[in-house]
Every structure is written in C-alpha cells, then in structure tokens.
C-alpha cells in the first residue's frame, strides 16, 4: 500500500538488520570506552567486534525480497551521501587495526592467543607481587625506598620483560608480510605500565655507571691520533716535488715584432 | 744551439718535462738532421731555420742569464707540495678522431646497415650498464645492511650486558676495535692494491669526463676494490656514505662493458670492438656515471644532469637520451631487486640506495613566508661548507706532505675509525636524552641509562649507519630529539666527517654532509618553533631537509644536478624551488670563501683540469707565449731508428708528433702535413710496417684500424718492442696513418681563443703554425691548465714531477 518505486520505509528484514547493527555498534562503543584506561580493548571487546563484523557482513550480503535493484545492501549502505553505516564500520575497523588486536588473538579471532594469555598471566603475577611487597610499608614510605620490591619481584619482572622482548622479536620476524611491527595494544600498555612502575616509581633498574674506566679508555683512544700526527710530522720525510722548467718562449710580444722586422 | 739546449736542461736538472708532444728536441736529434736524405727530424729552409734559431737563441740566452743569476736560489728544484702545481703523471685522452686513410677505408667498407647495428649496440650497452650498475648497488646495499646489522647487534648486546653488570669500558673497547679492524681491511686493500679507489671517486670521474687520463681509474680491479672498500668503510662505522662511490663504480662498469673485454682478467669477448676509442668510451663513461647517481639516489634525471654538468663540453641530444635510458634502467633494476629482497616483490618502493622517505604530507608543505628562512639556511650552509672545505684543505695538504706512506695511511684510517667509535660512545654515555620506544622505528635502540622501555636518543644518531640517521632526522616526529643532543651531534659529526674525507678508504661525502645539515637544520626548526610558540612551522623535518641541502651545497657546490637529485630523492616537485634557492645561496656564499670540495681535491692532486672558460683576464696572452717550443717533428717518410730514438727518449715522453714534409729538397718549406700519435707509432713499429718490407713481400697483410683498436687502451711501452739494427735503417711511411688535418692555430691567437677550441673539441694536441704553415709550437692541456685566476689576478702554475 506504500508508494511505488522509491520506498520511504525499509523492508522489515532490512530494518531488523539495521537495528541489530545499531545495537552491536552501541555495545562495541561502550566496551571500547569503558576499557580505554588501562587498555583492555582486545581482551574485552573482541567478541563485540566479531559480532559487529558479522552483522555488517549480513547487511552487505542481504538481498531484499523485492526487485533486485532494491536490496538491503544498496538501500542501507549506498543510497545517501552520508553513508553512516559504512562510516561506522570503517571507524571500528580502523580502530581495531590501529590497536593491532589481531596480533594477540587466535587466528580465527576467538579468544586470546596462548602467548598473550601467558603474558597477561605473568603481568598479573608481577602486579600482585608489587602490591604484596608494598602493603606492609605504604605508610612509612619514603619515595626512594622500594628495595624490598626490587629484590622480591625482580624475578617475575625479568621474566615478564624477557617474554615481552621475545614476543616482539617473534612478531618482527613473522610479521614481515602482514601486520605492522607493533604488538597488540593491551600487551604494549601492560608492559609500559609495569616498566614505568619498575624503573620510574620504584627506581629499581639502577645501572652501574662506571665513569672512570670509560673516561680513561676514551681519553687513551682520543690521545692516539695526537701522537700519530705529531710523530709523523716530526719523523716522516716531507714529500718534495721536483719542479720542471717548461720549454717555451719567454719573450714578450714586442721582442717578436722587433725580430721579425729585422729578419 | 746545442750548447744552449744543454744549459737549459742542466738548469732543469736533466729532466725534461714529459709533456704530451711537447718539445724536448734533444741534441742527438738535431745532429741527426745533418747529412742528406737520412737527415733530420725537421727539414726547414735555411732562412726559416735561421730565423727560428736566432729567435730561440736570443730568448733562451736571456732565460739562461736569469736562471744563472738569481733563479736557482729563488726557485729551488725541490719544493714541498702545494696547490699551485701541475703533475706530469696525468695525460689527456684522445677525444679527437684521427681521420687517417685507414679510417676512411673502414668507413667505406662498413655500409649503412652496419652503422645501424652500431647504433643498436650502443643502446644495448647502455641497458647493460644500467642493469649492472643497479646490481652492484644492490650488492653493496645488502652486504652493508647485513654486516652493519651484525656489528650493531653484537655491540648492542654487549652494551646491554655490561650496563647491568658494570664494565662499559669493555663495550667501548669492543666497539672501537671492531670498527678499527674492519676499516683496517678496507684501508689496506685501497692503500696497497689500488690507491686510485680512495675517496668518493667523483673528482676522478670529473677529471676523466674533462679529458684527463687518470691512471687505472676505469679498471675492473678498481671497481672490485672500490666496492669492497665502500662496504668495509661503511660497516667500519666511519662518517662516510656509499653513494658517491656508486658514481665511480657506474663509470668503471660502463668503461668495461663498452670495450667488450677486460684487460685485468685478460679476457676479450670479441664484441663491441668498434667502441675501442677514447671518444666512444667517454660517452659510455658519462652514461655509467649517470647510472651510478641514479642508483645511489633514485634520481635518474639528476644522474643525467650530473653527467651534463660535469662533462658538458662534449654533448649531444642522442647521447642525452641514451644516458637517460641507462639511468632509468639502473634505478629500475635496483628497485626491483631490492623489493624482491625485502619481500614485497611488486612493490617497487626503494628506487635508490638512500631514500629520503615521503615528504608529501600536509604538514610538510611550505608557505611563502618561509622562503626567506630557507635562504638564511642557505647562507649558514655556505659558511659551514666553506669552513668544512678549508679545514679539509689543510688536512689534505698535511696528508700529502707527511702521510704518504701506505702503512701510515692505514694506521691513520684505523685511528679515525677508533676515534669515531669513541666519540659516539662518549656522546651516548653522557647523553640523558631518553625517548620512549615506539614500535620498531629505531633499528638498534640502546637503553643504557634510560628507564626500561625508553631508548637513548643520541644513540639513534650515532649508533646507526649514516643513511638511516639521515632518514630518522627527516622523519622522526617532532620532539624525538632534544636541542642539546642535536647541537652536540652536529658539532662532533662535523669534525669527524671533515677528518674522515681524504682518508685512504673508499667512501663518499654526500651522506655525512646531508647528516650534518639535517642535524643543524632540525635544530634550527626546533628553535624556530620555540620562538614562534609552535605556530604553523611546527614540523622540524622540512627544516632538516633544507639544512641537509644547504650543507651539501656548501660543501660540493653542485648546482643544477644537486637540485634535481634532492628533488627526486624527496619525491616532491614543489620542494624544487626552495631547494634551488638554498643551493644557490649556499654556493654563492661558499664560493666567496673557498672553492668546492671536489675542485679543491682536483687542484691538490695537481691535475691539469680545464674549467669552462679561460681566465677572464688572459686575452693579452697569445698562443706564442702559451705554447711549448721547439717541437719534436717527424718527417712523412722517417727512418725507423729516429722514430725509436724519439719514442724511447725518457726525458721527453711526448704523445703526439707533428708530421712535416719529407722532401729532401731543402729549398722547400717543411710545412705541416699531419699529426701522429705515440700509440699509432708503437703499433706501426710492432707490426713492422716499413717501406722496405712492403717492397719485399707484397702478400703482407695490410694494417687495419682493428689493429690499433686491439692494442687500445694499454699500448705496450716502446721498450717492449724489439727493433733490430738492420731494421733501424728502414724507412717508415706515416702518410697513411697520420691524421692529415690536425687542428692548428696561428701564433697570434689569444689564449681564450685557443682555450675554447681546445676545450670544446676535446683536443689533446693543438699545433701552432706560422703563416707559412711551419710548426713553431705545440699547445697541450698542461699549457692551458697552468693559467688560473688566483686571488691576485692571473697566476701561473708550475709543472712538477709527482
């Protein structure tokens, strides 16, 4: 009973598809927003993302039951200038790519990969270790006195750090074709937080600075050229060039003229 | 006369100059002119002989007086090396085609279709030059990348280990020793096997294209040493680049392919025999140099313009098109092979050895208000470049005078390598500039005293190959370096690069210059955005680029080709205008103080280099004053013994001899009939083309042009040719082989006129004749190159044995 040709209303199937997409994107947006800090995007939202992808896919594939020119995909995705559904889905895709979530998920995107699980496990362990060791002394804490933490958690932290470096190396080797060299954002952020705590807040990684030997060795090396140049200046025979007198007429033009006049 | 000649040669310590085709008429020859038909090398009418004799008598006597009275003390025969000398060891190339009868015969024999195949062969050769140059560039790039990666990983692991445990001085020692030993190998092969492979090779190629024959410069051995040397010096961590030597490598490849054989390997492939001449070889060498530039910077047009700028006096349109073809092939080959190597086969994303990266984002654009700032940067670049050149000048002079023994040169290179590592280490050690690691943008992040997850920002500049550092300076996001780091880096690297250039290692100056410039340019950009409180000019990368251009322009003073090279390397045509302005300013400012680095080194090597034009104030000089006289002439039908004597006279190593009429009738004027080259004479003697033998055996094979080409380019010395006593009495007829129409000038021609003729035609010998067509003198390259416009007007350089 509606208008012929251009329908102002969508077909019911299409409408339900659109509604599902709207729901899905709302859920995903909420999830992303809630897990922005500390970053838990990939762990928490991969289910939402996967669902949304499926919904978008079904819109793109769906053919309405009316004439071919009026299928769902066309009327939802491409019939106006704004194309909000496409924009939304592009936004989610880009965010997902930028976060590099594919890197810590299993190949079929169902759940976290084993190495990521292991990493997060170790990460939680180190955090508990930190908390544990700090509990007793929080009150009397002077800002530089975290030796307890440094001593007790060193093992966990080193393992975590090594694992992270390992992951990074593997990623770099395997990732030449597909992904960029980044690990997924969850892992990176977790590592960042831990490292900051460890070396900035707890000040645990104090490298031995051995300035005196370094200065000694470097001044020795820097001194060598001086010796070299001085000795070659004093002892090496200076290279001499042998001058050769050219054979040519040294006279000036007037002399020539005189000669020619008299001959 | 004989007496006079003797005195002259005494004051010259019995050492006649061995200038090309220059006089050196020694007494035996003059005496030989005596009896009858077997007589002298010069048949002159009594009157003319007398006249010339008188003239030279008078002049030479005057000369002698001067010499005897005051000159010996004022001008000692042995002087320390200075820049106002011309070395005798350099000779000219024969660009002038000898149009003798053999040549005409060959031209008649080869029909039109055959010339077509010659043309096709030229294209084939150019394609091969491009491909091989590209492949050599790939080889260098890949080997350097892997070896340098290995070195930096080893040192980094070591530093990481010792940072935790203490004992960083061992890391320093490891780094310095690694550098020094790698550079030692690189320097050893250069110093002991092929010294001409030292440096960037651009001055040498410039000289070659100018028409100076630098011994060994286009040999296969040189190429091998050059390639290995470049790899070793870059891996050894010196402040050098691998781009300049690519130009030399391309030139050697071109010279090798176009000849279809290698004398180093003693293999003759019997192809491309037509091109065995200096003229043809020079065209291909310019194509090779262009292909080298194109592979080094991914700049095919820049390559063509480089060849144009350096060898422009001999040029034509078809050659340009062919050279462009070679350049394109070269960059394409490099691009495709490297992209396969990097694993993205069809991507074609690495057109040159160094890629400046993409400069096309929005914030990299420039506005018109920035142009004065760029010009100011050009001024700074010019001043810094002049300072660089002046320092390097003193250093090079010191090196030529005192560090001339190969072992000392090797030791010096090793010391520089060790000091470079030490300076880098100390800078990194002292730096407190820590930046967070972002992904894998830093190839070898050194943590050292930074917090976990951060790296030392100084290490990105020092602990890396220079190419990567340049790209980092261009493209790292704002805030990656703090101003202190950049300032210290610029200062240190400036002196290191200046110290390094001129060592006996093969390495280029392009990349260090770019790096210095990029560092101070970035510093400039950062301070600018501080001053303007971070307005539109926020991105320091573009200032880094302009600084790099200014510094490079200030050092090498190239104009057109460098602009295009930079433009192509950035891949952004809109940068052409500011880059041009920057380079122009840098050149003007720099030229006010000292000349360009390459020209300076050419001068320090005492090469008889002909500039574009004769000195402006030289019109009063005539050919008569410029030329060398007397000239060793040959008669058209000459006694073999005389020829052998002239050729084997070590005191006068001439290369061209005017041929005069051999009419025994002494009343006739002995006019100029032609010009014959030493190389031709040697081939004639070797094949024993004597008049008597021709009469004896009519079946004897006639000499063809091919025989001359087969001997090219290393003609045997005269000592290796055996001429028996009987044969010495034979006669040799030169009329078939000499060039019957050599270029001549009258005595009154001014120096600029002579110069123009000489430079534009690429001559080697220019005969000076009087109005009776008698030979009075000979002008060669060294006669012209010795006049130079100095600080106090026209100067004359002296000739010296080096």
Domain C-terminal end among B558, B574, B605: B605
- Whole-angstrom CA distances from B413 to B190, B310, B492, B649 are 11, 30, 18, 40
Q: Is there a contact between B315 and B308 (Cβ–Cβ < 8 Å)?
A: yes
> How would residue A255 be classed by pLDDT, with cut points 50, 70 and 90?
very low
Q: Render pLDDT for B246-287 as a digit per residue (tens, 0 to 9).
A: 999 999 999 989 888 877 777 777 788 788 888 888 889 999
Taking contacts as CB-CB distances below 8 angstroms, the residues of chain B near A191 are 453
Q: What is the mean pLDDT of residues B451-461?
A: 78
Q: Render pLDDT for B430-451 as a digit per residue (tens, 0 to 9).
A: 887 787 776 556 677 777 777 7
- Give backbone dihedrals phi and psi of B455, rounded to 5 degrees, phi first: -130, 165
| B750 burial type by CB count under 10 A (0-12 exposed, 13-18 middle, 19+ buried) | middle
**Number of structural domains, chain B?**
2
In a domain, B191, yes or no: no
Q: In chain A, pLDDT over 70 holds for what percent of residues?
A: 76
Based on the domain organization, do B642 and B747 belong to the same domain? yes
- Give backbone dihedrals phi and psi of A144, rounded to 5 degrees, phi first: -105, 10
CB of A227 within 8 Å of a chain B CB? The answer is no
pLDDT at B25 exceeding the cut of 60: no
Asked whether the beta carbons of residue B51 and residue A253 sit closer than 8 angstroms, the reply is no
Domain C-terminal end among B605, B631, B648: B605
Based on the domain organization, do B379 and B510 belong to the same domain? yes
pLDDT at B716 exceeding the cut of 70: yes
Domain C-terminal end among B556, B579, B605: B605
In a domain, B545, yes or no: yes
Highest mean pLDDT among B393-402, B669-678, B781-790 belongs to: B393-402
Asked whether the beta carbons of residue A246 and residue B415 sit closer than 8 angstroms, the reply is no
Asked whether the beta carbons of residue A244 and residue B799 sit closer than 8 angstroms, the reply is yes
In a domain, B5, yes or no: no
A260 to chain B: nearest residue by CA?
Answer: B51
Based on the domain organization, do B571 and B650 belong to the same domain? no
Calculate how close chain A gets to B574, using CA atoms only, in Å.
31
Asked whether the beta carbons of residue A249 and residue B625 sit closer than 8 angstroms, the reply is yes
| A 137-166 residues with CB < 8 A to B | 161
Mutation site, A167, A181, A243, A254, interface B, largest B CB count within 10 A: A243
Cα B733 from Cα B691, distance rounded (Å):
6
In a domain, B549, yes or no: yes
Q: Render pLDDT for A60-96 as a digit per residue (tens, 0 to 9).
A: 776 655 555 457 777 777 778 888 888 888 998 888 8
Q: Render pLDDT for B504-526 as a digit per residue (tens, 0 to 9).
A: 999 889 999 999 999 999 999 88
- Here the CATH number for the domain that contains residue B774 is 3.10.580.10
| A 186-215 residues with CB < 8 A to B | 191-192, 195-196, 198-200, 205, 207-210, 213-214
Based on the domain organization, do B558 and B594 belong to the same domain? yes
Mutation site, A245, A254, A263, interface B, largest B CB count within 10 A: A245
Mutation site, B453, B625, B652, B653, interface A, largest A CB count within 10 A: B453
Asked whether the beta carbons of residue A249 and residue B451 sit closer than 8 angstroms, the reply is no
Return the pLDDT at B382.
96
Calculate how close chain B gets to A79, using CA atoms only, in Å.
32
Query: Which pairs from A31-35 meet CB under 8 Å and 24+ separation?
Result: A32/A95
In a domain, B644, yes or no: yes
Return the pLDDT at B64.
38
Q: Render pLDDT for B100-124 as a digit per residue (tens, 0 to 9).
A: 888 888 888 877 778 888 889 999 9
Nearest to A213 among B169, B451, B800 (CB): B169
Return the pLDDT at B178.
93
Based on the domain organization, do B600 and B474 belong to the same domain? yes
Based on the domain organization, do B595 and B634 belong to the same domain? no
Calculate how close chain A gets to B283, using CA atoms only, in Å.
33
Q: Render pLDDT for B139-193 as a digit per residue (tens, 0 to 9).
A: 999 999 999 999 998 988 888 888 777 778 888 899 999 999 999 999 999 999 9
- Whole-angstrom CA distances from B509 to B243, B450, B459, B639 are 8, 33, 21, 54
Lowest mean pLDDT of B34-43, B227-236, B268-277, name the range. B34-43
Asked whether the beta carbons of residue A239 and residue B411 sit closer than 8 angstroms, the reply is no
Based on the domain organization, do B376 and B512 belong to the same domain? yes
ipTM: 0.80
Lowest mean pLDDT of A109-113, B339-343, B606-610, name the range. A109-113
Q: What is the 3-state secondary structure (H, E, C) of chain A?
A: CCCCCCCCCCCHHHHHHHHHHHHHHHHHHHHHHHCCCCCCHHHHHHHHHHHHHHHHHHHHHCCCCCCHHHCHHHHHHCCCCCCHHHHHHHHHHHHHHHHCHHHHECCCCCCECHHHHHHHHHHHHHHHHHHHHHHCCCCCCCCCCCHHHHHHHHHHHHHHHHHHHHHHHHHHHHCCCCCCCCCCHHHHHHHHHHHHHHHHHCCCCCCCCCHHHHHHHHHHHHHHHHHHHHHHHHHCCCCEEEEECCCCCCCCHHHHHHHHHHC
Lowest mean pLDDT of A251-260, B396-405, B429-438, B585-594, name the range. A251-260
Asked whether the beta carbons of residue B56 and residue A249 sit closer than 8 angstroms, the reply is yes
Taking contacts as CB-CB distances below 8 angstroms, the residues of chain A near B798 are 243-244
Q: Which domain holds residue B529?
A: 362-405+465-605
Q: What is the mean pLDDT of residues B200-221?
A: 89
Asked whether the beta carbons of residue A236 and residue B403 sit closer than 8 angstroms, the reply is yes
Mutation site, A98, A249, A260, interface B, largest B CB count within 10 A: A249
Cα A121 from Cα A8, distance rounded (Å):
54
Return the pLDDT at A17.
82
In a domain, B653, yes or no: yes
> How would residue B664 be classed by pLDDT, with cut points 50, 70 and 90?
low
Based on the domain organization, do B648 and B560 belong to the same domain? no
Calculate how close chain A gets to B671, using CA atoms only, in Å.
19
Q: What is the pTM of this model?
A: 0.82
Return the pLDDT at A128.
84
Asked whether the beta carbons of residue B12 and residue A192 sit closer than 8 angstroms, the reply is no
* H helix or E strand, kind and range, residue B659: strand B656-660
Q: Which residues contact B195 (CB under 8 A, 6 or more apart)?
A: B406, B504
Q: Which of B311, B390, B404, B400 is nearest to B606 (CA)?
A: B400
Q: Render pLDDT for A189-238 as a digit per residue (tens, 0 to 9).
A: 888 888 877 777 777 766 666 778 888 888 999 999 999 999 999 988 88
Asked whether the beta carbons of residue A243 and residue B798 sit closer than 8 angstroms, the reply is yes
Q: How many CB atoms sit inside 10 A of residue B350's CB?
A: 21
Mutation site, A189, A246, A252, A257, interface B, largest B CB count within 10 A: A246
Based on the domain organization, do B670 and B760 belong to the same domain? yes
Asked whether the beta carbons of residue A241 and residue B79 sit closer than 8 angstroms, the reply is yes
pLDDT at B76 exceeding the cut of 60: no
Based on the domain organization, do B600 and B628 belong to the same domain? no
CB of A172 within 8 Å of a chain B CB? The answer is yes
Nearest to A208 among B165, B403, B405 (CB): B165
> How would residue A263 be classed by pLDDT, with cut points 50, 70 and 90?
very low
pLDDT at B471 exceeding the cut of 60: yes
pLDDT at B292 exceeding the cut of 70: yes
Based on the domain organization, do B504 and B647 belong to the same domain? no
In a domain, B115, yes or no: no
Nearest to B63 among A172, A250, A259 (CB): A250
Return the pLDDT at B584.
95
Return the pLDDT at A260.
45
Q: Which residues contact B326 (CB under 8 A, 6 or more apart)?
A: B126, B127, B129, B130, B133, B254, B287, B288, B290, B291, B294
In a domain, B777, yes or no: yes
Return the pLDDT at B228.
94
Dmax over CA atoms of chain A, in Å, equals 129
Taking contacts as CB-CB distances below 8 angstroms, the residues of chain A near B749 are none
Q: Helices H, strands E: what count in chain B?
A: 31, 19
Q: What is the mean pLDDT of residues B615-621?
A: 85
Size of interface A-B (CB pairs under 8 A): 185
Cα B379 from Cα B391, distance rounded (Å):
18
B473, HSE (Cβ side, Cα atoms, 13 Å): 38
First to last CA, chain B: 30
CB of A254 within 8 Å of a chain B CB? The answer is no
- Here the CATH number for the domain that contains residue B582 is 1.10.3080.10
Q: Helices H, strands E: what count in chain A?
A: 9, 1
Based on the domain organization, do B634 and B725 belong to the same domain? yes
């Amino acid at each position: 009973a509606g208008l012929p040709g251009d329908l102002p209303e969508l077909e019911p199937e299409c409408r339900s598809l659109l509604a599902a997409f709207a729901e899905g994107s709302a859920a995903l947006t909420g999830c992303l927003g809630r897990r922005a800090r500390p970053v838990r995007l990939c762990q928490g939202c991969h289910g939402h993302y996967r669902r949304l992808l499926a919904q978008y896919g079904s819109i793109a594939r769906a053919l309405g039951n009316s004439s071919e020119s009026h299928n769902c995909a066309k009327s939802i995705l491409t019939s106006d200038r704004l194309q909000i559904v496409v924009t939304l889905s592009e936004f989610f895709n880009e965010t997902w790519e930028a976060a590099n979530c594919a890197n810590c998920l299993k190949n079929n995107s169902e759940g976290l990969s084993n190495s990521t699980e292991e990493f997060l496990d170790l990460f939680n362990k180190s955090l508990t270790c930190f908390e544990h060791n700090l509990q007793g002394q929080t009150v009397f804490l002077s800002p530089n006195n975290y030796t307890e933490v440094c001593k007790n958690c060193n093992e966990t932290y080193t393992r975590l750090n090594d694992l992270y470096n390992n992951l990074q190396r593997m990623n770099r080797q395997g990732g030449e074709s597909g992904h960029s060299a980044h690990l997924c954002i969850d892992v990176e952020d977790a590592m960042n937080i831990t490292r900051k705590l460890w070396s900035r807040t707890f000040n645990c990684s104090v490298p031995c600075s051995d300035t005196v030997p370094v200065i000694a060795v470097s001044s020795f090396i820097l001194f060598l050229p001086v010796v070299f140049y001085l000795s070659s200046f004093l002892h090496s025979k200076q290279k001499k060039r042998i001058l050769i007198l050219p054979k040519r007429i040294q006279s000036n033009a007037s002399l020539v003229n005189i000669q020619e006049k008299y001959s | 006369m004989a007496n006079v000649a003797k005195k002259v040669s005494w004051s010259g310590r019995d050492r006649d100059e061995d200038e090309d085709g220059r006089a050196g008429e020694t007494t035996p020859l003059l005496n030989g002119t005596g009896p009858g038909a077997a007589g002298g090398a010069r048949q002159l009418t009594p009157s003319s002989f007398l006249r010339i004799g008188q003239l030279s008598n008078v002049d030479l006597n005057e000369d002698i007086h001067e010499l005897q009275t005051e000159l010996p003390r004022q001008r000692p025969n042995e002087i320390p090396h200075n820049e106002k000398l011309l070395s005798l060891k350099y000779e000219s190339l024969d660009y002038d085609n000898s149009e003798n009868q053999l040549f005409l015969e060959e031209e008649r024999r080869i029909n039109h279709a055959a010339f077509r195949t010659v043309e096709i062969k030229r294209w084939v050769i150019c394609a091969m030059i491009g491909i091989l140059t590209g492949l050599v560039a790939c080889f260098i790039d890949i080997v350097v990348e892997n070896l340098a990666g290995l070195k930096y990983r080893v040192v980094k692991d070591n530093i990481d280990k010792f940072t935790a445990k203490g004992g960083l001085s061992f890391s320093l020692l490891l780094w310095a020793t690694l550098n020094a030993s790698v550079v030692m190998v690189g320097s050893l092969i250069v110093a002991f096997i092929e010294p001409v492979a030292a440096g960037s090779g651009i001055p040498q190629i410039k000289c070659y294209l100018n028409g100076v024959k630098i011994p060994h410069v286009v040999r296969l051995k040189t190429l091998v040493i050059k390639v290995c040397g470049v790899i070793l010096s870059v891996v050894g961590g010196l402040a050098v680049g691998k781009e300049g030597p690519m130009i030399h490598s391309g030139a050697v490849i071109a010279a090798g392919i176009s000849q279809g054989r290698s004398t180093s390997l003693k293999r003759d492939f019997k192809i491309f025999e037509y091109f065995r001449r200096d003229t043809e070889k020079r065209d291909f060498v310019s194509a090779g140099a262009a292909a080298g530039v194109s592979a080094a910077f991914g700049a095919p047009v820049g390559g063509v313009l480089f060849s144009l700028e350096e060898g422009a006096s001999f040029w034509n349109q078809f050659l340009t098109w062919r050279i462009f073809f070679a350049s394109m092939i070269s960059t394409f080959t490099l691009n495709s092979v490297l992209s396969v190597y990097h694993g993205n086969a069809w991507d074609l994303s690495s057109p040159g050895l160094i890629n400046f990266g993409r400069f096309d984002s929005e914030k990299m654009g420039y506005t018109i208000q920035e142009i004065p700032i760029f010009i100011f940067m050009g001024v700074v670049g010019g001043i810094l470049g002049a300072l660089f050149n002046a320092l390097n000048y003193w250093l090079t002079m010191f090196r030529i005078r005192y560090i001339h023994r190969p072992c000392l040169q090797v030791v010096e290179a090793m010391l520089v390598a060790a000091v470079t590592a030490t300076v880098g280490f100390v800078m990194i050690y002292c730096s407190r500039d820590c930046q967070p690691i972002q992904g894998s943008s830093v190839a070898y992040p050194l943590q050292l005293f930074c917090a976990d997850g951060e790296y030392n920002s100084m290490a990105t500049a020092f602990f890396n190959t220079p190419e990567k550092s340049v790209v980092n300076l261009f493209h790292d996001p704002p805030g990656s370096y703090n101003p202190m780091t950049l300032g210290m880096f610029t200062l240190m690297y400036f002196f290191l690069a200046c110290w390094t250039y001129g060592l006996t290692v093969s390495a280029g100056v392009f990349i260090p210059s770019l790096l210095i410039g990029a560092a101070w340019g970035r510093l400039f950009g950062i301070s600018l955005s501080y001053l303007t409180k971070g307005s539109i000019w926020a991105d320091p990368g573009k200032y880094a680029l302009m600084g790099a251009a200014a510094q490079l322009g200030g050092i090498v003073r190239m104009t057109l080709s460098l602009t295009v090279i930079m433009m192509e390397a950035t891949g952004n045509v809109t940068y052409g205008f500011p880059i041009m302005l920057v380079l122009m300013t840098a050149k003007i400012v720099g030229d006010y103080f000292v000349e360009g680095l390459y020209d300076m080194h050419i001068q320090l090597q005492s090469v008889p280099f002909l500039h574009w034009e004769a000195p402006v104030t030289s019109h009063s000089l005539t050919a008569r004053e410029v030329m060398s006289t007397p000239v060793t002439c040959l008669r058209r039908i000459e006694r073999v013994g005389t020829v052998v004597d002239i050729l084997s006279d070590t005191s006068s190593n001439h290369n061209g001899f005017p041929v005069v009429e051999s009419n025994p009738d002494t009343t006739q004027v002995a006019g100029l009939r032609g010009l014959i080259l030493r190389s031709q004479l040697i081939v004639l003697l070797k094949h024993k083309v004597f008049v008597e033998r021709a009469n004896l055996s009519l079946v004897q094979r006639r000499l063809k042009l091919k025989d001359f080409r087969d001997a090219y380019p290393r003609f045997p010395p005269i000592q290796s040719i055996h001429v028996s006593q009987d044969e010495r009495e034979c006669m040799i007829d030169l009329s078939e082989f000499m060039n019957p129409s050599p270029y001549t000038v009258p005595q009154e021609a001014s120096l600029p006129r002579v110069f123009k003729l000489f430079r534009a035609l690429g001559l080697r010998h220019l005969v000076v004749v009087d109005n009776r067509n008698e030979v009075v003198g000979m002008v060669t390259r060294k006669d012209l190159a010795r006049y130079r416009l100095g600080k106090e007007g026209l100067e004359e350089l002296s000739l010296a044995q080096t």
